[in-house]
A and B are shown apart, each in its own frame.
Chain A
Amino acid sequence: MDEQAIIETEDLTKVYKTQVAVDHVSFNVVQGEVFGFLGPNGAGKTTTILMLLGLTEPTSGKVRVLGVDPTRDSIKVKGMVGYMPENMGFYGDLDAVQSLKFIAELNNIPRDVADERIEAALRTVGLADEARKKVAAYSRGMRQRLGLAELVVKEPKLAFLDEPTLGLDPDATNRMMDLIESLSCEKGMTIVLCSHFLHMVQRLCRRVGIMIKGKMVAQGPMDRLAQEKLGLGAEEYTLEELYMKYFQET
């Protein structure tokens, strides 16, 4: 496996007024992997992602994303990286094709290339039949899939998915996870996945980072963490057990 680090952070810290949201976090994400970014609500995951995108400035620490410092050259990073925010919004009065066209224009993708990618993306996420419906009439599952289609159109090297399955029914969750897996396998996208569906994360990821109260309490291959923490072999533990173990310790 190509172990080239795509994200490198060193002592990354973010302080909101008095509250320390992210506390000296150092971690790496490697080319081609799906990195499971776990932690309870308010742990600082979203804040970390925002700093990695250059959308918010770190209080201190170093970041490099795809070899670029997002604090310095946010535009460059945002051009190469896809981001699906938690509670992502859509323009309700556009249909799926129009929404995707808008994203393509914002990314300076030439029209003919964009048209091809949009068609392919809609087929990939299974929205081809509803492509001309206004997004306002979409179900939550359809919206999240449209969000993934935006990523497919943009074709970033790296994508941050912040709780993409939040509020989805089990079937839609499965579907979403399958799509994320296909993005990783077929498109070779490196993915940072925040999710509370731990059995899904366990299926998709090899390496995870667990963040609690602003600190990265564990990171590395899941199997190794399980071996160290629980003394269990690769097939014997669940990520949920591992996660709860760390959670109870802090």
Chain B
Amino acid sequence: MQGWKPIFKKELADHFSSYRFIILFSLITMVSLIIAYMVGVTIKQDLEGVAKPKFVFLMLFISRGVVFSLVQFVAFFGPLIGLVLGFDAINRERNEGTLSKLLSQPLYRDAVINGKFLAGVVTISIMMASILLLITGMGLKIVGVIPGVEELCRIFLYLIVSIVYISFWLGVSILFSIIFRSIATSALASLALWIFFSFFVSMGATVVANAAAPDANSSNPEAMVRNAKIQRAISLISPMVLYTYGTATVIDPTRKTTSTMVLVGPMEKISQERFSGPLPLSQSILIVLPYILSLIAITAVCFAISYTIFMRREIRSL
């Protein structure tokens, strides 16, 4: 690990002074604030004359603004942050001839990737934390409700999962910047993968499920369940779906399952009816834990591939 610190420091400074980061950050902050504002105003209107329900603060995150809720917005556009921070991490240094200079200093090769990845993760964390803080502050002002401790815990947990999710995409883009020499190619490849997982996986899941269980309609509930199961299984290969499931019950305590209603088994239904109140935090965490762990696992896999390629490659072809 020797030597990652100076690289980390330099990368961090680079990120925060780069135009592309500043533009993206302003854009995402702006959209988030607009959504939060619209949702906040609606909530305030709805709350008038009504006793304050539990978890009203979290509604800021899960209610739809115009098209998106905040959670959906991050699920969809969050990856862009990761991609933008990493798509030229290694190949730019290679093309500009700074990589061989860097590697001729007394450091291990992995220090370069580690330093860059960590700097990206810290940048992502600062960015997400400040956005969530801004939204929370705005919620306080508009809705006029003070979030409870549990709500804050849930928001914090949501922050952590979001950071892991965006870091996965950072890992993907760094991997592409190692594989591809050309910056344009690695940028395109990252975008292509993002589009694939964001649009085509769910589309493909629907197509496959309909082909496998074609007679899914209300008169044939068995086929409908099968259809939904297949669709869910396939769509789980998408990190976006993993993330959506992984944050679902954390940020929305009234949800008790990550499945759609069709998929809820009879026992689950009984238990749900028995506890009509919101899920306690610990239960919410238990439900989403597998998804969060999967997210961490695919990030680690991505990182491991980057590692092996970068460590093994002949210096002249780096």
Say yes or no: is A106 at the interface (Cβ < 8 Å to chain B). yes
Interface, chain B (partner A; CB < 8 A) = 2-3, 5-7, 9-10, 14, 17, 93, 96-108, 314-316
Question: B316 to A75, Cβ gap below 8 A?
Answer: no
**Ranked 6 nearest A-B pairs via Cβ:** A89-B97, A79-B106, A105-B6, A89-B98, A83-B104, A89-B96
Interface, chain A (partner B; CB < 8 A) = 16, 47, 50, 53, 55-56, 75-76, 78-79, 83, 85, 87-93, 102-103, 105-108, 150
Question: A55 to B106, Cβ gap below 8 A?
Answer: no
Q: Which residues in A have their C-beta under 8 angstroms from that of B314?
A: 16, 56
Q: Which of B93, B100, B106, B315 sits near A75, CB closer than 8 Å?
A: B106
Question: B316 to A56, Cβ gap below 8 A?
Answer: yes
Question: A105 to B103, Cβ gap below 8 A?
Answer: no
Question: B97 to A85, Cβ gap below 8 A?
Answer: yes
User: Looking at A79, A88, A106, A150, which has the most chain B CB atoms within 10 Å of its CB?
Assistant: A106
Q: Which of B6, B104, B108 sits near A55, CB closer than 8 Å?
A: B104
Chain B residue nearest to A76 (CB atoms) is B106
In Å, the complex CA distance between A12 and B5 comes to 35
CB distance from A116 to the nearest CB of B (A): 19
Question: B10 to A102, Cβ gap below 8 A?
Answer: yes
Chain B residue nearest to A46 (CB atoms) is B316
In Å, the complex CA distance between A66 and B99 comes to 24
Question: B316 to A90, Cβ gap below 8 A?
Answer: no
Q: Which residues in A have their C-beta under 8 angstroms from that of B108?
A: 75
Question: B2 to A75, Cβ gap below 8 A?
Answer: yes
Question: A106 to B106, Cβ gap below 8 A?
Answer: yes
Q: Which residues in B have their C-beta under 8 angstroms from that of A150?
A: 101
CB distance from B20 to the nearest CB of A (A): 13
A-B contact pairs, 5 of them (CB 8 A): A47-B316, A56-B315, A78-B107, A85-B100, A91-B10
Question: A106 to B97, Cβ gap below 8 A?
Answer: no
CB distance from B289 to the nearest CB of A (A): 40
In Å, the complex CA distance between A50 and B106 comes to 14
Q: Which residues in A have their C-beta under 8 angstroms from that of B7?
A: 106
Question: B104 to A78, Cβ gap below 8 A?
Answer: yes
Q: Which residues in B have their C-beta under 8 angstroms from that of A107?
A: 105-106
In Å, the complex CA distance between A105 and B106 comes to 10
Q: Which residues in A have their C-beta under 8 angstroms from that of B93?
A: 89
Q: Which residues in A have their C-beta under 8 angstroms from that of B14?
A: 93
Question: A85 to B101, Cβ gap below 8 A?
Answer: yes
Question: A106 to B316, Cβ gap below 8 A?
Answer: no
Question: A50 to B315, Cβ gap below 8 A?
Answer: yes
In Å, the complex CA distance between A103 and B105 comes to 8
In Å, the complex CA distance between A89 and B105 comes to 14
In Å, the complex CA distance between A107 and B2 comes to 10
CB distance from A107 to the nearest CB of B (A): 6
Q: Which of A53, A56, A75, A83 sits near B107, CB closer than 8 Å?
A: A75
Q: Which residues in A have their C-beta under 8 angstroms from that of B2?
A: 75
Q: Which of B5, B96, B315, B316 sits near A105, CB closer than 8 Å?
A: B5
In Å, the complex CA distance between A85 and B318 comes to 14
CB distance from B132 to the nearest CB of A (A): 30
Given that A50-B315, A50-B316, A105-B6 are contacting pairs, would A90 and B104 also be in contact in the complex, using a CB cutoff of 8 Å?
no
